[in-house]
Each structure stands twice: as C-alpha cells, then as structure tokens.
Structure 1
Amino acid sequence: MLRRLLALLAMLGASFVVVVAVAPSAIADCDVDEETGEVVCEDEDDGNDGGTHTGGSSTCKYDGKEIPCTGPEGSVWSSKYGCWIGERGPDDLVPPEGQTKEDGWWHVCYFPPPGSSWEYMWILTGEVGIDPVVLAQRAIASMNLDPIEIGIVPESAANRAGLVGLPVWMWVDQPTDVTFGPISASASEGTVSVSATANVSSIVWDMGDGTKVNCTGKGTPYADHYGKQASPTCGHRYAKMSDDQPDGAYQVTATSHWVVEWTGGGQSGTIEFDLTTEPLPIRIGEAQVLTQ
C-alpha cells in the first residue's frame, strides 16, 4: 500500500491541487481483507438509536458495504463525493478555474479502504456537513414505525379453527400512520434539512404452509354477511389440515414493505425496508361428515 502511494506521489509531483498522503490512523474503524478487498468496518456507538428497520443513522453505505458515517478527525461521510469530508484546507490554496472562495473551498477528503488515503477536494459552500442520507435515516427513525396489526379470518384462538378449502381473509387491522402510512418527518443538522414521507407499498403474507401471498393495499376486513365468499383483495385457501404443524397450527406472519421518499440538502432519494409481525397461529381442520 505504501509503495503504491509513494509511486502516486511521484507521478503527481509538486501539484497543490491533489495532495495524497498516507494516513495510518485515518481509517481506524475499518479493516481490509487483503485477498478479497472487502471493507469491514466497526461502527462506534454514538448513543443514537437509529431503529432496526434502517440499520441505524450512524451507518452509511459505500460500494454496497456499511461504513461509519463519522470518519477520522470528526469528518462526515458524503455519498456525493465518496469520502469523509474533513477539515478546511490552508487559506493559501488557489480555487480551481472558474471558482471563487465564495463558491466553496478545499477540504480534506478521507477515502475508505482499500485506498486508505486522503486528498484535498473542492467542496461547494453549504455541502460541508452531514450527508442528507443520514438525516433521512434519522427522520425515519423518529417515525417509530411498527409492523401491522394482523386481521385474519379464521381468528387465532384455541377454540377457533378454519376449514380446508374455505376462504381465508387477511387485512390490516386498525391501520395507523405508523403501521401503514402515510407519515412524514424531518431532521436537520446545521444548514441541512431533510423531509421524508413513508408509505407501505405492499404486504407479503407468509401463510405457514409454504405459500406467500403478496397483497397491495390494506385488504378487506371480513364481515359475517360475506359468508363463504373469497376476499376481493387479499385471501388464501389452505389445502390441508394444520394438525401436523408445531402446536397444531400454521404460523402466519405479515411483512410490510415500506417505501420512503426523501428530499433535502440538494439531494433526493428512496429508502426501502421491511417490518415483519410476530407469528400468529391459525388452526385449520376438516369438516366432519356424519353418515348412518
């Protein structure tokens, strides 16, 4: 690594525009697999609970891998520039052609492994600070989103059971903004502010018998007057009894797929994630036919 950086320095010569140097402590939280080049980073606990659905607001993404959002010397990760933006460069540096000191300034950019190097990069005014993606994650965490409440017929109870072949109805029971959306929140730091709006786009019902039913919308709550009709929006039929299942019941879960649209800090994007309910036992039997 050192030999490659020295060779690069030799090629760059005395240019002040790009200054590369070895920074032994720059990537203290990251290790690199020398054979695969895989980046493995250990995030510091900053005491901020970012929520399990987004993986925490202190973790950013680089080349499909998680890295700490805070880098060496208090620098902050920027997905736009692909580095941790750190301290301002010396005042005697010269702006690039067509730029002025009012437009921006040179800042140290620390690069993730396998480069583990830094250079001065021209950063536009107002773009020094937290990555808007991090603020979007904080906004999502503040929503305190939950899995849906399962509505289902047959009901889940020790003395209740459905029948093989009869319609099963599934729906979102008593939907709220935190279980189905839409819900909006914002987060700010310094001059950067991000707004985010979250909605459930679909729900995948794992029926416990090897079948998964993908439903859009909240589904239709069952009512007695529907009788033996099939659900018009989200339903299933079991082909066999549940007596051979653990506790004699199919374990049903519902996974809601959240889509969050965010904008701010001169950027916009989409964050998607899933929330899954605890398993709900549903018993299925067969109708007994009496003959004489």
Structure 2
Amino acid sequence: MLAVPAAFVVVVLTATSASADCQEIYNPETGQFELDCSDGGGDPGGGGEEPGGGSSTCNYNGREIPCTGPMGSVWSSVHECWIGPSAEEIGDKLEPPPGQTNEDGAWRMCFFPPPGSSWEYTWVQTGEVGIDPVVLANRAIASMDLDPIKIGIVPESAPNRAGLVGLPVWMWVDSPTDDTFGPITASASEGSVSVSATASVSSIVWDMGDGTKVNCTGKGTPYADHYGKQDSPTCGHRYAKMSTDQPEGAYQVTATSHWVVEWTGGGQSGTIEFDLTTNPLPIRIGEAQVLTQ
C-alpha cells in the first residue's frame, strides 16, 4: 500500500446509524476508509431521490456512490474505481507496461469503493479519464425537470362523485406534456465531452388501492359520455367491492410512470431507467341500491 499525502482526507460515502449520519472517510495514516459517525456529517450525494440526481452521483453494482473521491479523483465506470493523480505527481517513478510509453498513458491512483477501502496504481490511457459520460447523462436528465403524470380517471375524484361496484373504471394520462410523458431530449457537456439523452415513459403501473395493479402501455384513452358502460380499450379496471372500509372511505389510486432514458456521448451509450409516482388520488366506489315498496 502506497502512502497518500496527509493533507487529503475526503468523504466518499455515507450511511445512516440510529444516532447520527455516518461517513466513510479516507485515513491517510492507515490507507483505509473508516466509518465516522460523529455529528455534523452531511450527505455529499444529495440523497439521490430525484431522477438524474445531479452531477455528484454515480452507480456502482446497483448502488449510488459519489462521482468524486479522494484527492479530487473522478469515478471511472471502466476501471470501477476513482481515478486520481498520476504516480509521477505523487513522486513515484514507475515504468510503463510492456508495449506502452509515457505518451500512451500514465500510472494513476485507482481508489476502490468500500467494501475494500484500498487503492492501487492502474495504467490509464491518455485522454481516457475525464468526466464519466454517465454523469453528464444524469445532468441532462436533471435539466429535463420531469414530473409524474397527471391522472385522468373515471369515476372522478371528488366528495360528491362515486363509481359503482362492477362498472368500468377508465384511466389515462391527462394533458400529457414532454416533461410528464416524453419524449424529451436534453444534453450536457463538460470540456470536450458532450452527452445527449432522450427520455420517454414506457409504461404506467396503476395501483388501484384494492390490491390490484394494472400495467398499461401508452397514454390510455380519455373517457367520453358516449362510451357509456364500455370497458376502456387501453387501460381499465373494475372494482369488486365498495370502498367504505377504506381510509377516508375511498380507494387511494396512484400511477407510477416508468421512464427509459437512452443516452449517447463520450464514445459511450447506455440506458437509465427510473420511476415517478403520483400522490394518491381518492376514488369512492359504492353500490347501486334498489328500492322496492
């Protein structure tokens, strides 16, 4: 393990304990990442709750990590580590690997994410490491300012409105826009690297509040009076029970749109997927009463 200048102590990952925010920090004396649960620690990753959660979050084995690491290093999805200063900058003189010259590349510090908490020199080709294009793709997504859909549904959600058990329920995307359904395209650049990303909704999962989830592709069909009691041809449901035993006497309906983003740039391409869910919408379902004398 090679020594790291003592001036560099960098937060690289966060976790949560019962009493405080914990951070994994690089200890230059041991060359290891150590867990610090002292008060005052923040979350350098910003939470990652929104799609394209900013330029500080990258992905590693299905989890989010900061895109910057110790000593100003930059995450590389190719090497699966943060690429930092060269051996020459640290003061170490290393010979290039066989068949390579100092003009072809350099030995660079490669900081591995926890678990592992270590680093080693790795050979990096000249111009290979800059900003990760995935970071720029996430920036492009963030600039789209995407929102959940606006729910269109019959029966309508209102205190004086109710549907009936067994009658068709129609669901659709009300007044779709580029930022609620797509397609929408945006780009982001840094230095010589530019990435273009196009996002669109591939499907919508409707949670009907009665234990049923309906997966619909497309925007659905808006209901009109002339349809009468027909089923929706594209996205519908029928309730089997009244909603009187539900909280507030209504089924809580949500719609989760599944976004797919295709991006390309920096000599790479990829797909980013995420979901956006609406707030619950109360739908009341009653039962027709027949009066006899």
Please give the range of the TM-score, normalised by the shorter of the 2 chains.
0.7 to 0.9
- Which amino acid is 2:143 matched to? S
| Partner in structure 2 of residue 3 of structure 1 | none
1:179 Cα deviation after fit = 0.4
Alignment of 1:23-38 (within 5 A): 23=4, 28-30=11-13, 31=24
1:262 aligns with 2:263: yes
Could you tell me how far apart the structure 2 residues matched to 1:133 and 1:103 are? 25
Aligned-partner Cα distance in 2 for 1:39–1:176: 47
Which whole-Å deviations, capped at 9, do the CAs of 1:153-177 have from their partners, x for residues lacking one? 0111111111110000000011111
8 Å Cα contact 1:186/1:195 also seen in 2:
yes
Are positions 1:183 and 2:217 aligned together?
no
Q: Which amino acid aligns with 1:159?
A: N
TM-superposition CA deviations, 1:239-291 (whole Å, max 9, x none): 11111111111111000011111112222211111000011111111112122
Kept in 1, the 8 Å contact 2:157–2:281? The answer is yes
Alignment check: 8 A CA contact 1:258 1:273 kept: yes
Percent identity among equivalent residues? 76
TM-score (norm 1): 0.83
Deviation string 1:23-71 (CA, Å, 9 cap, x unpaired) is 4866643439xxxxx998987548x897613444312223333322111
- Show the counterpart of 1:287: 288
Map 1:71-86 → 2, pairs under 5 A: 71-86=69-84
Give the match's secondary structure for 1:90.
Answer: helix
* Alignment check: 8 A CA contact 1:181 1:200 kept: yes
Q: Which amino acid aligns with 2:182?
A: G
Task: Give secondary structure in 1 for the equivalent of 2:88.
Answer: coil
3-state SS of the aligned residue for 1:244? coil
Q: Does 1:215 align with 2:200?
A: no
CA distance change for structure 1 residues 40 and 275 in 2, over 3 Å: closer, same or farther? farther
Secondary structure of 1:140's aligned partner: helix
Deviation for aligned residue 1:196 = 1.0
CA RMSD of aligned residues (A): 2.6
Query: Distance in 1 between the 2:47 and 2:62 partners?
Result: 22
Aligned equivalent of 1:4: none
Q: Which residue of 2 is the match for residue 200 of structure 1?
A: 201
Partner in structure 1 of residue 239 of structure 2: 238
Structure 1 gap segments, 5+ residues each: 1-19, 33-37
Q: Any stretches of 5+ residues in structure 2 without a counterpart?
A: 14-23, 26-32
Tell me if the contact between 2:181 and 2:201 (Cα under 8 Å) persists in the aligned partners. Answer: yes
Which stretch of the first structure deviates more once superposed, 96-105 or 219-228? 96-105
Q: Is the 8 A contact 1:27 1:112 kept in 2?
A: no
The residue that corresponds to 1:63 in the other structure is 61
Q: CA deviation at 1:147?
A: 0.1
Quote how far apart the aligned CAs of 1:111 are: 1.8
Aligned to 1:107: 108
Cα distance between partner residues in 2 of 1:200 and 1:259: 6
What is the CA-CA distance between 1:115 and the residue it aligns to? 3.1
Q: Please state how far the C-alpha of 1:89 moved relative to its aligned partner.
A: 3.0
- Partner amino acid, structure 2, of 1:205: W
Q: Report if the CA contact (8 A) 2:10-2:71 is conserved.
A: no
Query: For residues 63 and 50 of structure 1, what CA distance do their matches in structure 2 show?
Result: 16
Give the aligned residue type for 2:12: D
Partner of 1:127: 128
Are 2:52 and 2:139, in contact at CA under 8 Å, matched by a contact in 1? no
Aligned length: 267
